Structure 1
Amino acid sequence: MEVGENVAKKQRGNVDRISELPVFILHTILSRLDTKEAGRASVLSKKWYGAWSTIPVLNFKPGYFKSEIEDDTRTLERFVEFIDKTMQRYITQKSRITKMYLTLPKVDEKLESLVDKWIMIAVQNQIERLEIQITGGNEYRLPEILFCAKSLKYLKCSKVGLPYYATMKLISLEYLTLVPETVDEDMLQEMISFCPLVELDITCDTHLKNISLPWVRKVNEGVEGRGSRTMQSNLQESPLQKFVYNGQSLESSWPWNMNVVALKNLRKLVIFCAPVTDDIVSELAYRLVALESLVLDTCSMLTCIKISSSSLKELEITNGLIFNHKNATVDAPNLWKFSYNCRVETPLSLIRVLDHCNAEFFPVVTASSTNVWFVNLKKFLTETKLFKSLLLNLACIHLVKAEEQLRDVVIGPPFKLRELKLRETSAWDSTKSSLVAFLDGLFWCCHPGVLSIRTSLENSAVQLIVSILKEKAGCWKDPLKSVEVECIGSPHLLSYPYELEIRLRLSW
């Protein structure tokens, strides 16, 4: 009896615990892999094979089929054969497909019919999320069958066009992102009008002329009087909460006619590289009553930005090297996060902004600025009195001695800063004399409580800065009492394994 129990215990000790997991957990594990890689795991056991053959997430990438001994044509043929065989299995088994990611180098006339068939199978198997990316060749147009998918919630397409004609039945679609070369305006308008979108992300070329967002429909409220019909226009409230527009061009006109009365739920608006005017931005910020986050990135027609909003909580203005941006005025009493990127001499007026707002300034310093930017930066920080952190990209800053220029300039004491962040230190002229001159000018502008420096592991500028700070702790114009290393580490270990960040706590 005891021998039998010992044998049973040994057998239980050799059991594959992973294979004992429920099928839905195995599906989760396999869905993180490319479909071909997941297929390799199917040889582990019958349970793994069963989980792989019914996995609801399909991820097709041609990179896993590349071979040094084959040309691109043969690689594509094997890739297409694999996809077709996999999709045929889902027809036979009638297994559900919740997500499908498809990347193709090109779509010719022969391949187009196959892609249409794969999408049809996905629709029949209750697809919820579909992402299609065509990296080259001609544009592929989505088949009309896709627009009858009752279960589709998420649609993301790159270099994929809308069909010329289709009946909109995407009643469950919540997220749409399109990166096409050509868009049929009427078709795009129909999608926006009849789909309950929560997030809309559009990257379009310059040819769009006018798109309404959202499309407002009139509702017949009833009949009054003798044969006289009264029509009342009820504004249909749009469920849209996030709208991202990438114009890709600084030359065309703003194509969107936003009905701000119906956009009662819009909470985030991102406008990138688009020709919006100051008046358009002012009206949108003021009349979108639920707007909490606004991002204006590289909009060349903005010169005098005026933003007034009682609902706004996050604001980002990034103009970089666009020199026609003259000033900005912000009136946002509930603003708690503010990012501002412009030249240091660009005026900024802040009205009714929270004192504890987490404000970060990214000043742009051009090669022609020499050391005048030290003066402009100090003046800017002193006048705004808002920014808690300052980020300097040192790749474009020339470290030239500024002592003579700063000696006779009087603009009050240095600005008290919570944190100073220095980036791109690998591009520095990291000689000791140039760094001493740079730090002299920088600490003449501001006194940070924390100094964080991000650089490559090979760069020795960090060690040099630490040694300079400790040597000159009592020698600055406003003495630096002590320097303590707070932490050293890699903030983005997986994405940037060779990057180092060091945080120093400074006492003045």
Structure 2
Amino acid sequence: MDRISGLPKAILHDILARLPDEDSARTSVLSKAWRETWCTFPILCIFSTQFVRSQDVIIENSHSLMDKVIDYVGRRLMRLRDRGLAIKEFKLMMDYVDHEYMSHHLDLWLKMAIESGCKVLQLHLPVGFLGVEYSQDRFYDLPLRVIESKSLTELELTGGIRVDQAFLTHSIKLYSVRKLTLCNLFFTQEGIIDHLISLCPVIEDLTVNCCDVYNPLSIENPQVSRFNNVKSLFLHGLHKLKKAHVQEIQEVYLDAPNLEFLHYSPSHSDKSFKLNLDSFTNLRWLCLWSLKISDIREKWFLELFSNLPFLERLELSHCSLFERINIMSSQLKVFQLLRCSNVKEVNIDAPNLLSLAYRGSNQSSISFRRSSNQLEVKVYSIVDFRYLYSLRKCIQNIKPQNILASVSLFIYQSFPIEPKHGAFQVSSIPPTIKGLELRFAPKNEALYFPFMDYLFSCCCPKYISFRLGSYVDSKAFIEFFYDILMGRKECHCSSSNKKCWWHALKIVKVACSLKIDENADFKTMLDALPKCYSNGKIGFILEL
């Protein structure tokens, strides 16, 4: 007996709200009761991919396909309005839109949603249509009624949307908006974006990414781009703001004394960035991307932690930094240094640091003056047979020696170059580390043993795991890996004083992240993994 379908509508709506959007839509085919529940569900989330794949849209069939979306959305909205039901959330994600053809319908849908007291509005539109040139005429004009809404708590605008100068003088009533996202929008004039954001007095979460402004100089000089990145963002009175994500803006000033999270990436222009970091005294989490060494003074970096006394997490990614980086903080708990060029030496004095993630040159050295006994170190590396032992040197460059017990090594790529046979013999047992995770497997069977031999000449992990995307490409390699570990028959050091990697290996145990009988053999475990098991793991516990 189906007892769930007989539950009150409010409870059924709550169940739908907790499901992924696509799954909640599928419930409409379960029964008449669920179809009625879906029809009265106050959260409308529409993806154009529900109707057709974007790659199947061509100019000849585009309007007929858009008509399907228009008809479906119109019927859903009208049904709710006719029954006097509120629209709590309206989300429209389109991969293809002819704005001239659909703008009238978009205006009507937004009007109905806002008049119904909509709290969450998300509008994702593509820039351009079916390969048409990026131009002002290929944007949807955001209607003024959107900023007249007193009920909105979350507003997200992404893609081919134009905001014109009328917004500078029009009354903005976004008094309840706590989360605002503006991505890839087009503003007809500088200053509109500042005006729009500053009139959201209770905003807590702000994202501004890759927004453009019209360049009037392009009229006089055809060689000049008609669209430039918004140059600056000057915002005052954002006392509620706790989280900000700003990208592709060169000058940023935020009057946000309670800001706790900031992700900032300047534009790729030749001009220096400006950011008032020293005013964010409550900042806990800072992500800096794509900073140039020409923009950063070494003194600025040294003063970073004194200016941000509560900083617990620092992420530096794709930055051009100094050869030597000194980290000194008693509060820092997480530090990530990812693909930052020039860095050769990292010195860390952070007694409460719990996690360090490093991805960069295998020649860099990392040393700890003070560290927590709970520290976890993650090193992401490329296996490059052209520079033998660079990986081993990278591990040995982590000091002091006791830190190695917390190191996990992640191999995510390799160069398909076959090394010379026996090139990895070493005169001593390599350093012991906590774990080794392989996110890459050689496709060429001839590289199986050299790849494995290379890894074990660099380190002796206590645990090895595989997190690979393709079962087909990796199954043969994992089986080979298992046979070598369990058999350990090949050995090219028996007649030599030099010791190869498996002399320290005593016991091998198989581990699997799936719930399988603990007495199952290795092949059963491997076969139980899904065809794409990036979220599953199979591995080996090694006792040395």
**If the TM-score is normalised by the length of the shorter chain, which range does it land in?**
0.7 to 0.9
Counterpart among 197, 208, 218 of residue 202 in structure 1: 208
Query: How far did residue 450 of structure 1 move?
Result: 0.6
Please give the secondary structure, in 2, of the residue aligned with 1:343: coil
Cα 1:507–1:39, aligned 2, differ >3 Å: closer, same or farther?
A: closer
Partner of 1:76: 66
Query: How far did residue 416 of structure 1 move?
Result: 2.4
**Equivalent runs, 1:177-192 vs 2, <5 Å:** 177-183=181-187, 185-192=190-197
Partner of 1:93: 83
1:467 aligns with 2:458: no
Partner of 1:120: 111
Partner of 2:407: 388
Counterpart among 160, 172, 177 of residue 173 in structure 1: 177
Cα 1:236–1:460, aligned 2, differ >3 Å: closer, same or farther?
A: closer
Partner of 1:430: 445
- Kept in 1: contact 2:338–2:359 (CA 8 A): yes
**Equivalent runs, 1:67-466 vs 2, <5 Å:** 71-104=61-94, 105-137=96-128, 138-159=138-159, 160-164=161-165, 165=167, 166-183=170-187, 185-195=190-200, 196-204=202-210, 207-212=229-234, 238-245=257-264, 250-253=268-271, 255=273, 257-258=275-276, 260-261=278-279, 263-273=280-290, 275=292, 277-279=295-297, 283-300=303-320, 304-319=324-339, 323-366=341-384, 369-382=386-399, 385=403, 387-396=406-415, 398=417, 400-401=419-420, 403-404=422-423, 407=426, 414-425=430-441, 427-431=442-446, 434-455=447-468, 456-458=470-472, 459-466=475-482
Cα 1:423–1:345, aligned 2, differ >3 Å: closer, same or farther?
A: same
Distance 2:260 2:531 in 1: 30
Distance 2:76 2:272 in 1: 44
Query: How far did residue 39 of structure 1 move?
Result: 8.8
Partner of 2:37: 51
Structure 1: runs of 5 or more not aligned: 1-13, 218-234
Query: How far did residue 42 of structure 1 move?
Result: 7.6
Structure 2: runs of 5 or more not aligned: 129-137, 212-227, 240-253, 492-499, 515-524
Query: How far did residue 505 of structure 1 move?
Result: 0.6
Corresponding letter in the other structure for 1:430: E
Partner of 2:48: 62
Distance 1:503 1:486 in 2: 5
Higher mean C-alpha deviation, range 299-308 or range 455-464 = 299-308
Cα 1:418–1:122, aligned 2, differ >3 Å: closer, same or farther?
A: same
Query: How far did residue 192 of structure 1 move?
Result: 4.3
Query: How far did residue 81 of structure 1 move?
Result: 2.8
1:18 aligns with 2:34: no
Cα 1:393–1:497, aligned 2, differ >3 Å: closer, same or farther?
A: closer
Distance 1:364 1:82 in 2: 49
Please give the secondary structure, in 2, of the residue aligned with 1:173: coil
Q: TM-score, normalised by structure 1?
A: 0.78
Query: How far did residue 204 of structure 1 move?
Result: 1.6
Query: How far did residue 215 of structure 1 move?
Result: 5.5
Please give the secondary structure, in 1, of the residue aligned with 2:79: helix
Cα 1:126–1:283, aligned 2, differ >3 Å: closer, same or farther?
A: farther
Distance 2:486 2:20 in 1: 50
- Kept in 2: contact 1:198–1:242 (CA 8 A): no
Deviations 1:241-276, CA, capped at 9 Å, x for gaps: 3333455x5445465523542x34433333344557
Partner of 1:6: none
- Kept in 1: contact 2:389–2:458 (CA 8 A): no
Higher mean C-alpha deviation, range 163-172 or range 278-287 = 278-287
Query: How far did residue 445 of structure 1 move?
Result: 2.7
Query: How far did residue 149 of structure 1 move?
Result: 2.6
Distance 2:27 2:484 in 1: 56
Query: How far did residue 392 of structure 1 move?
Result: 1.1
Corresponding letter in the other structure for 1:480: L
Corresponding letter in the other structure for 1:504: F
Please give the secondary structure, in 1, of the residue aligned with 2:467: strand
- Kept in 2: contact 1:158–1:179 (CA 8 A): yes
Query: How far did residue 466 of structure 1 move?
Result: 1.2
Higher mean C-alpha deviation, range 204-213 or range 445-454 = 204-213
Distance 1:362 1:194 in 2: 44
Q: TM-score, normalised by structure 2?
A: 0.73
Query: How far did residue 21 of structure 1 move?
Result: 1.4
Deviations 1:164-191, CA, capped at 9 Å, x for gaps: 3254432332223322154555233334
- Kept in 1: contact 2:410–2:439 (CA 8 A): yes
Cα 1:312–1:177, aligned 2, differ >3 Å: closer, same or farther?
A: farther
Query: How far did residue 507 of structure 1 move?
Result: 0.9
Please give the secondary structure, in 1, of the residue aligned with 2:208: strand
- Kept in 2: contact 1:100–1:130 (CA 8 A): yes
Distance 1:161 1:325 in 2: 42
Query: How far did residue 77 of structure 1 move?
Result: 1.9
Distance 2:425 2:26 in 1: 67
- Kept in 2: contact 1:128–1:153 (CA 8 A): yes
Please give the secondary structure, in 1, of the residue aligned with 2:114: helix
Corresponding letter in the other structure for 1:158: T
Q: CA RMSD in A?
A: 3.8
- Kept in 2: contact 1:200–1:243 (CA 8 A): no
Please give the secondary structure, in 2, of the residue aligned with 1:145: helix
Corresponding letter in the other structure for 1:484: K
Corresponding letter in the other structure for 1:346: S
- Kept in 1: contact 2:467–2:533 (CA 8 A): no
Query: How far did residue 289 of structure 1 move?
Result: 3.3
Query: How far did residue 134 of structure 1 move?
Result: 0.9
Aligned-pair identity (%): 24
Cα 1:242–1:463, aligned 2, differ >3 Å: closer, same or farther?
A: same
Query: How far did residue 283 of structure 1 move?
Result: 4.8
Query: How far did residue 399 of structure 1 move?
Result: 5.3
Partner of 1:27: 13
